Structure formats: C-alpha cells, structure tokens
Amino acid sequence: MQNRGRVVSGTPEQVHAELTQIAAEYEVDEVTAVTITADFQDRRRSYELLAEAFALTPAQEVASGQVVAA
C-alpha cells in the first residue's frame, strides 16, 4: 500500500500512542483524523473510539448556532 506510512490503525490505545508520538515529533498541539469507510456507522464509530481514547467530550450546539465544548 503506497500510503501505508500515513495510516494509523490498531486498538484505541495503539492509535492514541501513535498519534501522540506523531504530534510530539512534529511539535503540534492538535491533529486531524479522517476515517475513510464505505459505511457511515463504521465511520462514526471510528470517531467515537478516537474521542474515547483521547478522553474528549462531545461538542454542544447552543441556540446561537455556535458549537462550544460541553
């Protein structure tokens, strides 16, 4: 696979460790994850697992239409 060097996969713990290491190597505060799957529910579950691995809380939309951290 040509893009294998750009793919991070594994258990939530493995993905957390690898993304944390990559962020440290590039000295960045945040990373962007893109999950490419045919099935929407699989994609959504992937993002849920990432959020759980990084102990993130869901954003909450307020009446003004702005999204704020919950």
Q: What secondary structure letter does DSSP report for 11?
A: S
pLDDT, greater one: 31 or 2: 31
Overall pTM surpassing 0.95 (yes/no): no
Which helix H or strand E contains 60, and what residues bound it?
strand 59-61
Backbone angles phi, psi at 45, to 5 degrees: -65, -35
As a whole number of angstroms, the distance between CA 51 and CA 58 comes to: 8
Looking at residue 59, what is its pLDDT?
67
Looking at residue 1, what is its pLDDT?
47
Q: What secondary structure letter does DSSP report for 16?
A: H
Backbone angles phi, psi at 10, to 5 degrees: 140, -160
The tens digit of pLDDT for each residue in 41-66 reads: 999 999 999 999 999 887 665 556 66
Tokens of 56: 């993130």
Looking at residue 56, what is its pLDDT?
87
